[in-house]
Structure 1
């Protein structure tokens, strides 16, 4: 079960989207979604509502330099398989710092948060650039750790992505995300070189590829 502190819960959830709800056209238009994205939203999502509000009014945590408020969005899905890129598009365009609770038809709820960077100015309806997605289905009781909402938001990302992030949880988040991305690219490169090494017919070429493969493995080991 995913639980946020009761004192952050809205008295009544604020519905942003529900099929055939009055105002859905405005919701779509404000997000600058394409015709295909709108159809995917209708097909895959049953309900989008804000359930919790995390800010100085609901907690004793002051605003940060960047994060002034965090909204928890509950997404009720029609199916187990979901187009995650659709959530990224929503998160880029909502202009909010968000935490998603995905309500799946079967199985556990899923907690999802994006590590994202604010754009200098709005571009094509987007306010953020999504860098990476972190999610978990672990049972968790959300706690707010940090001196301000910037730190709280960072800790929420770190806790959600603790099994995926490289580096220490108390380290710099941006550096940790960059390291994680770098290692993933190197691991993919290593897999490609290993496959190539076994498919090369020339012994000389095999040795060249093996040398490159071992060099990449050393880079991976060094970064870890």
Structure 2
């Protein structure tokens, strides 16, 4: 409470900002995660001590602690359940989407996966959580298509191949094209493009 009040006073008198004390709290990152904008931020203790060179040129032992950022699953999973992508610990079909065309179904899932990858992946420390998230959406798409065609996932992939690719007629060009579902094995190409775009923006700002 003391630290929060000090921060509130600083913001009020020096920056002319008001801190809502009811909605803000101080989180000890060594023992629990701080959840912010869909991310979970915490400190992780590395085994062993490290030797670092200080600004004065003296070698000094460091604690080996570093901040890690992951997806706030406590916030995300209820939303996936509410949208019927994930129920009882498993990816599930979205019944309301099974009436759409194959192209529309894959497009909807690709849009969600692309948004999740572009938002979370460039920030998080480890890949495992984003892999799990893309896996949920990938198999939710499979099961939605399976419900539509009343077939198994095995027969679905035999029909459309892997990665799953659906043909559609492009009205602008008048030709037949394919839309490929973004999967756990293919989304890192999308991430590489996203990180490249972020790097170019950062470079342009620094100039």
**TM-score scaled by structure 2?**
0.24
More strand by share: 1
**TM-score scaled by structure 1?**
0.23
